[in-house]
Amino acid sequence: MSTAALFVDAPAFAHPERARWIEAFRRVRQETERRAAPLSPEDQVIQSMPDASPIKWHRAHTTWFFETFLVQPNRPDYATFDQRFAFLFNSYYVAAGPRHARPKRGLITRPSAAEVADYRAHVDAAVERLIADASASALPEILRILEIGLNHEEQHQELMLTDILHAFAQNPTAPAYDANWRPPRSGAKEGFAELPEGIHTVGHQNEGYCFDNEGPAHRVLVGPVRIARSLVTNGEWLAFIKDGGYANPMLWLSDGWTAVQNESWQAPGHWQDHDGEWRQFTLGGLRPLDPAAPVTHVSYYEADAFARWAGKHLPTEQEWEVAARGGQLADAFGIVWQWTRSSYSPYPGFVACDGALGEYNGKFMINQMVLRGSSLATPEGHSRVTYRNFFYPPARWQFTGLRLADYN
Ligand SMILES: [Fe+2]
């Protein structure tokens, strides 16, 4: 039994805050392993496109994050598990040193999945020891980095599911990640929520943890606008397809139309036409398309074209947040991320933090669009009303959908 385990399990435990953090750390680390558990070592090596990463890489990279940003700076006596892993499992942190090329992550058969499990156990023990043994003066900064690391790992937990879904979608035998998987129930509501014109405060207001890109809170003028209470459904998307939505350049942004032609898009991602009958490749394998379910795996370009076809718009991220704060949106969380028409830019007064962790969000604030809400793959407790997800406009391997806005 490790020192940390003794520390946590002691009946006269005198440091409940440290015990809570160790518990939180274990919960997040175990959730990653739970998501990887149905996957064989072979499943865990594959990288189906440059945007996606192997499951084994996610398991190792999240571990490297704790090792690099939490353990090594605070424990001079820490024995690094393998010096070569820093090159293999650094994602994009230039300040943390050179790194392996992202599109080539799927070419790494070694370390094996089992060795990655050993790496995780090694770093887990070091992190737990650090939390248990840190001086009172060092603890606040250690917990600050720990919390970033936990939220970082939760983001990768979502990517694990979307990346393996994309990988399995390339397999003609349509393997199921979980044969018993069921989609979340949609709580669709009719109609539009009215936002009368007014000044509102958006952004994070000391309501618990947030990423740096969610602040500072600031005032914005919002409305008048009406926002759909419900997400756009597969059935509505079928009508868009039947009406020639993918064949009409007048509906598309110029870059979007180029993407339609280059990628031969005729339907959302993971839709398959079986002799005129649409099926959808899901975490449960190939399933009949449910017309009532919210549409997912659409790019920003597709969401924008659909809105134009419907005579509507996408909401801005500020409009989305005001409506969500007011409880006016059904399915705001837990089904699909919702594209907004807002480009991913710094809020007024945003300053990235110093050092390598300053690279976490700020340097990506160009050429991407904001998505709000959360998806069925988002881990429990990771969602909030100020959360700003962001992807490039053509991306559609995430669980991405939309709701409409109307300015009339
Ligand atoms: Fe990462």
The closest of 282, 290, 50 to 165, measured between CA atoms, is: 282
- DSSP assignment, residue 237? H
Q: Ligand 1: distance of its center to the CA of 151 in Å? A: 10
Q: Ligand 1: distance of its center to the CA of 381 in Å? A: 18
Q: Ligand 1: distance of its center to the CA of 87 in Å? A: 14
Q: What is the pLDDT of residue 2?
A: 41
Q: What is the pLDDT of residue 229?
A: 97
Q: Which residue has the tokens 């939309």?
A: 402
Q: Ligand 1: distance of its center to the CA of 63 in Å? A: 10
What global pTM score does this model have? 0.95
Give kind and range of the element (H or E) at residue 105: none
Alpha carbon distance 336, 402 (integer Å): 8
Q: Ligand 1: distance of its center to the CA of 23 in Å? A: 22
- Interstrand relation of 400-401 and 337-343 (parallel, antiparallel or unpaired): parallel
Q: Ligand 1: distance of its center to the CA of 103 in Å? A: 15
User: Could you tell me the two tokens for 297?
Assistant: 């795996």
Q: Ligand 1: distance of its center to the CA of 61 in Å? A: 7
- DSSP assignment, residue 271? E
Compute how many other C-beta atoms are within 10 angstroms of the C-beta atom of residue 95: 11
Ranges of residues in the chain whose predicted pLDDT is under 70: 1-14
From residue 10, alpha-carbon distances to 7, 16, 29, 135 in Å are: 6, 11, 22, 19
User: Could you tell me the two tokens for 127?
Assistant: 């992190």
Q: Are 334 and 376 in contact (CB under 8 A)?
A: yes
Q: Ligand 1: distance of its center to the CA of 100 in Å? A: 14
List Cβ neighbours of 238 (8 Å cut-off, separation of 6 or more). Answer: 278, 289, 291
- Interstrand relation of 369-372 and 337-343 (parallel, antiparallel or unpaired): antiparallel
The closest of 63, 64, 44 to 54, measured between CA atoms, is: 44
List Cβ neighbours of 66 (8 Å cut-off, separation of 6 or more). Answer: 123, 127, 146, 149
User: Could you tell me the two tokens for 295?
Assistant: 């549409």
Q: What is the pLDDT of residue 361?
A: 86
Alpha carbon distance 182, 75 (integer Å): 44
Q: Ligand 1: distance of its center to the CA of 159 in Å? A: 10
Q: Ligand 1: distance of its center to the CA of 93 in Å? A: 9
Q: Ligand 1: distance of its center to the CA of 269 in Å? A: 24
CA-CA-CA-CA dihedral for 291, 166, 358, 136, to nearest 10: 90
Q: What is the pLDDT of residue 355?
A: 81
Q: Ligand 1: distance of its center to the CA of 69 in Å? A: 12
Q: Ligand 1: distance of its center to the CA of 154 in Å? A: 10
Q: Ligand 1: distance of its center to the CA of 119 in Å? A: 17
Task: Report the first-to-last Cα separation within the chain, whole angstroms.
Answer: 65
Q: Ligand 1: distance of its center to the CA of 116 in Å? A: 16
List Cβ neighbours of 148 (8 Å cut-off, separation of 6 or more). Answer: 69, 357, 360
Q: Ligand 1: distance of its center to the CA of 156 in Å? A: 7
Q: Ligand 1: distance of its center to the CA of 62 in Å? A: 6
Alpha carbon distance 269, 265 (integer Å): 8
Q: Which residue has the tokens 């996606």?
A: 52
Surface-to-core class of residue 383, CB atoms within 10 Å of its CB (0-12 exposed, 13-18 middle, 19+ buried): middle
pLDDT tens digits along 36-72? 999 999 999 999 999 999 999 999 999 999 999 999 9
The closest of 328, 336, 343, 342 to 398, measured between CA atoms, is: 336
Q: What is the pLDDT of residue 136?
A: 95
Q: Ligand 1: distance of its center to the CA of 41 in Å? A: 21
User: Could you tell me the two tokens for 108?
Assistant: 């790494």
Q: Ligand 1: distance of its center to the CA of 316 in Å? A: 27
Q: Ligand 1: distance of its center to the CA of 149 in Å? A: 9
Q: Ligand 1: distance of its center to the CA of 54 in Å? A: 13
Q: Ligand 1: distance of its center to the CA of 261 in Å? A: 32
pLDDT tens digits along 303-330? 999 999 999 999 999 999 999 999 999 9
Q: What is the pLDDT of residue 353?
A: 82
Q: What is the pLDDT of residue 1?
A: 37
User: Could you tell me the two tokens for 192?
Assistant: 């539009």
From residue 391, alpha-carbon distances to 173, 214, 322 in Å are: 29, 16, 22
Alpha carbon distance 289, 269 (integer Å): 12
Strand partners, 279: 272, 288
The closest of 176, 157, 158 to 167, measured between CA atoms, is: 176
Q: What is the pLDDT of residue 5?
A: 42
Alpha carbon distance 194, 226 (integer Å): 5
Q: Ligand 1: distance of its center to the CA of 335 in Å? A: 23
Q: What is the pLDDT of residue 6?
A: 41
Q: Ligand 1: distance of its center to the CA of 51 in Å? A: 13
Q: Ligand 1: distance of its center to the CA of 291 in Å? A: 35
Q: What is the pLDDT of residue 213?
A: 95
Alpha carbon distance 222, 253 (integer Å): 25
